[in-house]
Amino acid sequence: MPQISCAPDAALWLISTPHTSYAVRIDSGGAPCHVAWGGRLTLDEAAEIAARQPPVDREISSFEGRPPVGDELPVDGGARYGVPSLQVRFADGTRAVEWEPAGHDIREIPGGASELDLNFHDRHYPLDIGLHYRVYDDSDVIERWTTLRNTGTDDIVLLRADSAAWTLPPRADYRLSHVTGQWAAETQLGRETLPFGETVLTSRRGIPSHHANPWVMLDGGDASEDHGQVWSAALAWSGSWRITAQRTASDGRAGFTGGAGHDSTTLRLGPGRTHTTPRFAGLHTEGGFGAASRAWHAYIRAHVLPHPGEIRPVLYNSWEATGFDFDEKRQLALAARAAELGAELYVMDDGWFGARRADRAGLGDWTPSPDRFPEGLTPLADEVHRLGMLFGLWVEPEMVNADSDLYRAHPDWVLHFPHRTRTELRNQLVLNFARDDVADWAYGWLTALVADNGIDFLKWDMNRSFSEVGPAGPEGDDRLWSRYVHNLYRVTDRLRADHPRLRIEACSGGGGRVDLGILSRTDQAWPSDNTDAADRIAIQHGYSQLYPASTMAAWVTDVPNELTARTVPLAFRFHVATAGVLAVGGDLARWSQEELAEAAGFVDAYKQVRHLVQHGVQHRLRAPVDDGPTVVQYTSPDRAEVLVLAWQRAPRRGRPELPVHLAGLEPGAVYRDVATGVSHHATVLTGHGLPLELPPGDWASTAIHLRRVSD
Which active-site residues does the annotation give? 461, 529
Which 8-state DSSP code applies to residue 194?
A: P
Distance of CA 111 to the CA centre of its chain: 24
Helices (H), 193-318: 288-303
> In terms of DSSP bridges, do strands 345-348 and 390-395 run parallel, antiparallel, or are they unpaired?
parallel
Q: Which residues lie closer than 8 Å to 711 by C-beta, 6 or more apart?
A: none
Q: Which residues lie closer than 8 Å to 478 by C-beta, 6 or more apart?
A: 261, 264, 265, 266, 267, 469, 472
Distance CA 33, CA 20 (A): 18
| Contact status, residue 669 vs residue 709, Cβ threshold 8 Å | yes
First-residue to last-residue Cα distance in the chain = 34
Tell me which residue of 577, 554, 557 sits closest to 566, measured CA to CA. 557
Instruction: Determine the residue type at 701.
Output: S
Torsion angles phi and psi, residue 282, rounded to 5? -120, 155
Q: What would the DSSP string read from start to end of 442-468?
A: HHHHHHHHHHHHT--EEEE---S---S
Distance CA 53, CA 34 (A): 10
Q: Residue 204 CB: number of other CB atoms within 10 A?
A: 17
For 349-396, list the strands marked E by DSSP.
390-395
Distance CA 578, CA 525 (A): 15
What kind and span of H or E run contains 92? Answer: none
| Contact status, residue 540 vs residue 597, Cβ threshold 8 Å | no
